[in-house]
Amino acid sequence: MEKKDKIYVAGHRGMVGSAIVRKLQAEGFENLLLRTSAELDLRSQEAVDTFFKEHKPDYVFVAAAKVGGIVANNTYRADFLYENLMIQNNVIHSAYKHSVTKLLFLGSSCIYPKFAEQPIKEDYLLTGILEPTNEPYAIAKIAGLKMCDAYRAQYGCNFISAMPTNLYGPNDNYDLQNSHVLPALLRKMIVAKRTQQPAVEIWGSGTPRREFLHVDDLADACFFLMQDYDGTDWLNIGVGDDVSIKELAELIKEIVGYEGELQFNTSKPDGTPRKLLDVSKLESRGWKAKIGLREGIERVYEEVKSLPF
């Protein structure tokens, strides 16, 4: 990418998109095309095609998606499948039609089978059943990845895909009905400390293991891939190690300074037992995560501890 190139970041107000924008601006890229969902409905084929026809972006980061945690994914199954398919279909197809130089599609580690061997290699895609609670979202992301593959194979498009692990950081979602586990726990502990609650309820047994990547590290990886990777394989993006939900809760409790009990509600779903990505392909190309989990959560806590939850 050259500094003068037009770069479209789809989903620039979300956690991932805003991190990519911060990274691009820090690197001196100012010719950014940014549209809110009110200004450009990515579910509309006509609107997306008109946007690409008028503005002719050179590079595209596809960070727009309908996202949420277990409750949201399991409740709004049709919405998660339909809206994500429409967003990525429209953006990828318009990028092809209007000769975008390069596109990066961001998926999710939930594309892999529920009981995949750990750590999860890229090759494990479509080798087993998906986690039922977020299957619609996963199917949409698999379709996006395969769409990039197909457009590259049929039309020679330089469309690449990356699959991030669980993310956290600035502009995360703290709505307890729709958030992921780390921001949900952070909010619960902050509120419990403020109101001197004797205990915090945590869904599930605490035994599932998860990998967490700070979104600024993800943005750094996306910038790296857009500059330096033109291969045919999709690549996992992660830190290469994981923690149990119980360990995560205890770390957040320590950082927040909450002194009550942690109560694990085993009547609630655990989700996938473990989800650790094999990041050796990306690391072999020269990129590695820099922000440790404690440091990352401490940063986030400083940003959100005064929010009126």
Binding residues for substrate: 188, 203, 210, 270
From CA 164, how far away is CA 237, in angstroms rounded?
5
Catalytic: 112? no
- Which residues participate in the annotated binding site? 11-17, 106-109, 141, 164-167, 180, 188, 203, 210, 270
Q: Annotated catalytic residue: which of 137, 151, 168, 229?
A: 137
Question: Which amino acid is located at 159 in the chain?
Answer: F
The set of catalytic residues is 137
